[in-house]
Chain A
Amino acid sequence: MSASATATATATAAELDDPRSAVTELAAGTRPFLLGVRHHSPALAAMVPALLDAAGIDVLCIELPADFQPWLAHLAHPGTVAPVALAGTREDGGLGFYPFADFSPELAAVRWARERGVEVLCCDLPLSDPGWSADEEAAARPDPVSDSEAGAGGAEGSVGGPTDPHAGQRFAAALAEAGTGREGDDLWDRAVEVLAPGCPPEAVRRAALGVGWALRQDAQNGDGVRPTDLAREAHMRHVIATASADGTRRVGAIIGSFHASALVEAGTQAPKVEEAASPPAAAPSAQSDHVTSLVPYAFDLLDSRSGYPAGIRDPQWQQAVFTAGGDPERLRDAAARTVTALCRELRAAGHPAGTGEAAETVRMAGDLARLRALPAPGRGELLEAVTTVLGQGEPLGRGRALARALETVMVGAGRGRTAPGTPRSGLGPAVEAELAELRLPRPEEPEPREVRLDPLRSDLDRRREILLQRMAVCGAGYGEQVEVSGTGDGAALSTRWRLAWTPAVPARLDLASARGVTPAQAAAGRLREDYRRASAQDGPTCALVLDGLRAAASCDLPDLVADRLDEAAAILPASATLPELLAALDLMEALCRQHLPGTTEQGREQAAALIETLLDAAVRALPGLAGSEEPNDAAALVALADRAGQRRLGMRLDDALDALARTGSPLIQGTALAVRVLLELDEPEALGGRAAGWVDAATAADSRRRLSKLLSGVLIAAAPLLQSAPAVLDPLMDRIDALTDQGFLDRLPALRGGFDSLSPAARDRLLRTVTERIGDRLDLTLNAPPALLAAWTAADAAGLAALRSLRIPLPDSLTASNPAPAAEPAETAEAEQTPAPHDAGDASQSAVESRNSKDRLSPADRWRLLLGRQASNLPSGARRYAHALDELYGAGRGEGASGVGGGPNSAGGGGQEGSFATAREWAEELDALFGADVREEVLGRAADAGRTDVLGELDPASVRPSVELLTSVLSLAGGMPEHQLARLRPLVRRLIDELAKELASQLRPALAGLTTPRPTRRPGGRLDLARTLRANLAHTRRYEDGRTVVVPERPIFNTRAHRAADWRLILVVDVSGSMEASVIWSALTAAILGGVPTLSTHFLAFSTEVADLTDQVADPLSLLLEVRVGGGTHIAAGLAHARTLVTVPARTLVVVVSDFEEGYPLGGLLGEVRALASSGVHLLGCAALDDAGAPRYSVSITQQLVAAGMPVAALSPLALARWVGDRLRGDRS
């Protein structure tokens, strides 16, 4: 121990025992000779042989459970290559796990003993001893620290060291004080390892004993030493005493330095009688039925970050320290080699890291060590220097590359192996034993079998299920899960497996055995490794975390579940998209309800807390829905608001809904308004009033489309509300009632479209509500055979005649309301007689006539029409409208759509009229009924719905260009053969030309005008000599010798000017399915910007792959026909491609058009953005590029993008052109 460290410890703890003398006493003891170690300690391991030689040991006691005694010979065998691990199952189910590397003092000692022929005794408690679980018994009270990996402060990986130095850590704190004061410093490392180089072995031993003594003092003064430790120490004393009983042999004990002070002079005590009664280390394995094993191990598992117990940080580096053998010079060499290797790795990853930086890193590490008075740089100094010099303060991109390089260089990939002749042990035997216990196919009975498990009901099944899941994770190839279908909406809770023990299974198990000796450990190891590998590149994705959580839970690995829950809590709120959040909420609920094993009480609480957090996150993500046109999103909004509203109604939700109701797309606006009513934030009447207002305003094509969307939105959220709270309905009913027939018919397709979001059954119910309220006449249409009807009518007629003959006064209604049904047959006949193709004029005239006829549509009929139900109850004139619209909407979706006799009228007008034979026929009917304007709307909508045949009916010359239409045409064009496409080209061409013309007239002015250097008085650019002279001629002075001098009081300079030459614009456009409108606007904008002379425009379309469509930029038609919409989203790939196009970063603009729902690790995306931003490229993200400016995007991800250097906004093409123009002109901001 260094003088300064000891001095500080002494100074702080002077009033207690003098540490110096206590440590001296410890070190001086020879019965036994104590060697306090940490389980991994390169400094000590290097010196163990020298120390043991010097002490002249005859018997060596080593802190390992007695069960491992038979393995020692194999462990020390020269053919055994470290790292290897000893493992054994404890009585309480816990796992004793002891990895050994070359730098483990115990291994060094065992090897030394073999060379010298010294006897080695395992002196720790046998695994079967109840002492191991003494802690749990003693601590029925909640123990804050029972996790054996909690030893942040110095017991990291120590065998049986104290697990938590937080309580009463006076000495430890004093020692830590002498270190760097850095966060997470390792006490043992600072007090022993870094000081050891160049010291005599005895000094290192004293330092190690000193640290253990300090920790033990702290433990005694704090919570006391744990019962397990006391029990173990008692056993160790006993073994030591037995070993030295004859008094002639010199005993050495290699134990965790924490235990050292408990074993002082243990050899002098006679073995106690009762202890002697239980024969300890004699031949433990003989009776022990505990499975112990010696398995090969690997450096990456040895690293303490791998999640395996008793590891150490950066084993490869520790190995280098061990190899250096305590020589400072060789250590500095090792540091230099490590840094050089790091730089090579970094360069290989494409980051600049030259010899200069390597030299500076080594210099810095060395100087830091010198400043801290250390003989050579330790791991801490090395890492600090590396981070400072090579990290460049970037956690992403370069930082990640550095972390990967560190993992390669410092952790290493070394693998151990056991010596030939070592008995088979580990995973295979453990699995076979467990299979036998669970009565599943095994080597003795390998016959294939199919089992059905019900894990929630039977405990045996539960255990079987868990074992099978674990083996599946390990890749044992033993069982195959068979799909089980659930009942109704419920998920299946039972499972089916097809099982067989094939010769491949043991072989595969042996492969997996490096990761663990029990199925649980191996499965956990496999899951952790897979997870680490998947997230190594750019960090985990949300999907990865959720999958990992689900897998860990179904394998019943509570520790791993807890880890994944922590990860989920860290990652999901920050980067999950709304669908992912909903999936996560479902999974959390499954955990809380224990549908999955692997949850502890604590884990369930954690999951419950996470539900709340995730709901908060989901509320946060709501603004990102603003621009959505997807009914799914609207449904998600409802589901979320409902869930969040049940818990509590936050101001945030209120605010977000309010914003959506004001600024969202029509669909979302409608939904948000209805949700507000559902949550009782708004009055139902107000919603009804607004809905009526929408109907009023729907006079033009645009506003009708809006009406349709708004209504859909409202109804997705609030269909039941309409039935239960008719106040909402009243204003709407009044309005529909008050419309003229013409007005109603104009709006009919839009209204019908809006109500189409309801299921047919719901529409039936709504119709019933409405007709009740209108007080409609009784339903007179009977669903009876005509013959019966005729008989009834005859009877009725006879009755009427009878009444008349008796002169009884008749009610008016009987006579007044009858004409419609009466006239029906005649009118229908007339309509059907009207020949469609050649005299359409007649048809429309007759339609107009019928519209103007005095028997206007009754309110109930209007509702039948706009709900699309009970078409056969309609007057015959109106039935044609219903029929024409049914062609588009069909039967609807959801409840009642497929019902056989769901109502008197299924789609198709009650079977009276077949669907239209051709699209042309239909189009003409629409034209006749609604007029050209509405016809186009309906056909456009049909195209949207996927009817390719209607496109032929759209007249390129007269069609009104709109992005919506273009969108649907293009989405259909994707699946068309070329000869059909050829027919479409004129239409698309015209749409594109019109839109582009419109856009270009907006954009051009924004791009005009370039700056030249201007004169200024601000010093900055070059001096403008001519102007300066001219401006200062007034201040001329004449010297005596006759020379004249101009005194420039007002110098004039030129401003810096950016020459707008060779700018490059790279549009990176997301075509992953949800971006059609933006894709079109991007293509159009690209075409126009491509016409700007100083700008070369590139167009990259990406989904999961990137397509460079730059050569088609000039022709948006072919560009758009080339784009294939669909697939996932991999923005990072798009950006990576864009980066290859960058030549002069300062004159490159990269515009990303996307919804930013990245389906790949976020780290990669952020890294690309940082890389682009730091190279000086002008970056801009467009959450939407369209006229409306209402974006649909992932709020959480865009926030992180903004932080990484890419501003994100929803822009109109004009705003984008302005931005581009500003960059070109050199304005920053």
Chain B
Amino acid sequence: MTLTQEAPARLERQVLPAEERHADELAFLAAYDAGPRPPGWKLTPRAAVTFICGSGGEALKTAAPAKSGKGKAAGALPDKLVIAPKFVGERALVERCVVTLAGERGLLLVGEPGTAKSMLSELLAAAVCGTSALTVQGTAGTTEDAFRYGWNYALLLAQGPTTAALVDSPVLTAMRTGRVARVEEVTRCLPEVQDALVSILSDRRVSIPELAGGGAADGAGESEGSVPAVAGFTVIATANLRDRGVSEMSAALKRRFNFETVHPIADAEAEAALVRRQATAAVERAGAEFAVDDAVLEALVTVFRDLREGRSAEGWDVERPGTVMSTAEAVQVTASLGVAAAYLSGGDVLDLVPGHLLGVVRKDDPADHGRLLGYWDGPVRRRAEDGSALWRRLWDLRETLR
């Protein structure tokens, strides 16, 4: 999921990488702020922050008129551009991330699932080095090859260990070119695989013992047996805190990262707007019109926020279910409601809400069902008693939760 305002898709691909989606803004910002930048960086740190947090609605003007010497790409740059905000959250957080990367230190984004960590890492990578493609997806099956190197086994057997038979991992590529490597869900990798990152982040080189013999024999100085990291190389990793099946990171690895905790969207209205926007897009992709009432949507977002935070908007205590109640899930539920309203019409959309909520909450822990009931007994009932018609309807629908 992405928490951005989606630009209309220009190609038929489902999702565009950040550097393509925002190519205009990146090029503009590169020209706009021509100040000194850390080695390997496409933008100055300040421009990188602006790229992610937006220019606050102001149109930025390039200081010097863009030279039209470099062909049409430079010529197409506008003089003024409003940079759209792409990440809903604290500016200080983004500043810290950028400063961390400027120091070539590893950055670890942690937080609950669905808080746009991956999107933030993608944007940061695109802003810093112009590509977010050097990515390793962490899974329980990820092997050390993904962080170091693999072999083209056919070539390896046929020719022995040669540079040609070597298959670079995304991380190794990033080291060779001085760019940012992204590691998604690093805690899903097995600990011994994670630890491959420790030596990379501390030594800033990967040794390839298989090639070392030949290189040393040739006496060719910087032997092929080791690949040093070019200035500018660094790693952005993301990790979930609440998912099941995560492997803890070792203390050694932790010490090589700066940690940034990404929190769920703090502002209820911003979240509702985001959910509406993304759900609308999803429903429209399904070929229907989005027809979920604003009030219903607001109620749904409220329920999600209450259950996520363990405290209702009014300050009442709520028991948090074990399930993740992220914005992404809220979008999915809203989208299903929208599709149901469009294709399976009949009755009020509101009537479907408890059922869908039950589906979200009751995933693996049966006790979560009790927690949802408790939520209905508490905040929903109180709001109904306070006289809200919508919540009274939801309270009346409680039997569907049993």
Contacts and interface: CB of A to CB of B under 8 A. Distances in A.
A1229 B247 CA distance: 10
A487 B402 CA distance: 48
Interface string A355-371: 01100100110011001
B99 interface: yes
B170 interface: no
A1174 B249 contact: yes
Interface stretch (A91-99, A385-393, A469-477): A385-393
A620 B319 contact: yes
Nearest to B376: A651
Contacts of A1174: 248-249, 251
Interface string B362-396: 00000101110110111001000000000000000
A1051 B99 CA distance: 45
A1146 B191 contact: yes
Given A651-B398, A1047-B154, A1176 B258 contact: no
A1175 interface: yes
B153 A1051 contact: yes
A952 interface: no
Interface string B339-372: 0000000000000000000000000000101110
A28 to B, nearest CB: 32
Contacts of A636: none
Nearest to B89: A181
A981 interface: no
Contacts of A574: 310, 317
Contacts of B317: 569, 573-574, 613, 616-617
B105 interface: yes
Interface string B243-261: 0010111110011011111
Interface residues of B, number: 61
Contacts of B254: 392
Contact of A372 (B95, B150, B255): B95
A1146 B191 CA distance: 9
B103 A183 contact: no
Contacts of B105: 360
A1173 to B, nearest CB: 6
Contacts of B378: 616, 650
B80 interface: no
Contacts of A391: 259
A183 B267 CA distance: 12
B158 interface: yes
A360 B103 contact: yes
A1161 interface: no
Contacts of B258: 360, 364, 388-389
A620 B140 CA distance: 35
Interface in B38-90: 45-46, 49, 90
Contacts of B150: 1019
Contacts of A613: 316-317
Most buried by A among B45, B250, B258, B401: B258
A759 B263 CA distance: 57
Given A360-B103, A364-B96, A367-B99, A392 B259 contact: yes
B370 A656 contact: yes
Given A620-B319, A1173-B248, A1020 B373 contact: no
Nearest to A651: B373
Nearest to B48: A371
A1175 B248 contact: yes
Nearest to B245: A1229
Contacts of A357: 255
A225 interface: no
A974 interface: no
Contacts of A181: 90-92
Interface string A698-730: 000000000000000000000000000000000
A1048 B373 contact: no
Nearest to B242: A1203
B191 A364 contact: no
Contacts of A1175: 248, 250-251
Contacts of A180: 90-92, 95
B145 A1019 contact: yes
Given A393-B259, A1174-B249, A367 B103 contact: yes
A1146 B194 CA distance: 14
B374 A388 contact: no
B250 A1176 contact: yes
Interface majority SS (helix, strand, loop, mixed), chain A: helix
A623 B145 CA distance: 47
Interface in B226-284: 241-242, 245, 247-251, 254-255, 257-261, 266
A574 B318 CA distance: 10
Contacts of B398: 651
Interface in A606-620: 613, 616-617, 619-620
B338 interface: no
A569 B191 CA distance: 39
B261 A393 contact: yes
A388 B92 contact: no
B4 interface: no
Given A388-B258, A389-B258, A619-B374, A368 B95 contact: yes
A282 interface: no
A650 B377 contact: yes
A1202 B140 CA distance: 21
Contact of B377 (A367, A616, A1173): A616
A182 B90 contact: yes
Nearest to A656: B370
Nearest to B108: A393
A1098 B300 CA distance: 50
Nearest to A1051: B153
B191 A1176 contact: yes
B98 interface: yes
A89 B236 CA distance: 57
A533 interface: no
A1023 B153 contact: yes
A371 B191 contact: no
Contact of A384 (B96, B158, B250): B96
Contacts of A652: 370, 373-374, 376-377
B157 A1048 contact: yes
B110 interface: yes
A1046 interface: yes
Contacts of A371: 45-46, 49, 95, 98-99
A653 B153 CA distance: 63
Contacts of A1048: 153-154, 157
A574 B259 CA distance: 27
A652 B378 CA distance: 10
Most buried by A among B46, B248, B317: B317
B100 A182 contact: no
Interface in A1123-1168: 1146
A223 interface: no
Contacts of B381: 648, 650
Interface in A526-583: 569, 573-574
B401 A651 contact: yes
B200 interface: no
A655 interface: yes
Contacts of B319: 573, 620
Given A656-B370, A1045-B158, 6 more contacts: A573-B319, A620-B371, A652-B373, A1018-B141, A1174-B249, A1175-B251
Nearest 7 A/B pairs, CB to CB: A650-B377, A393-B259, A181-B91, A182-B92, A180-B92, A652-B374, A393-B110
12 contacts: A352-B255, A364-B96, A389-B258, A393-B110, A573-B317, A613-B317, A616-B378, A651-B377, A655-B373, A1020-B143, A1028-B157, A1175-B248
Interface of A: 180-183, 352, 354, 356-357, 360, 363-364, 367-368, 371-372, 384-385, 388-389, 391-393, 569, 573-574, 613, 616-617, 619-620, 623, 648, 650-653, 655-656, 659, 1018-1020, 1023, 1028, 1045-1049, 1051, 1146, 1173-1176, 1199, 1202-1203, 1205, 1228-1229
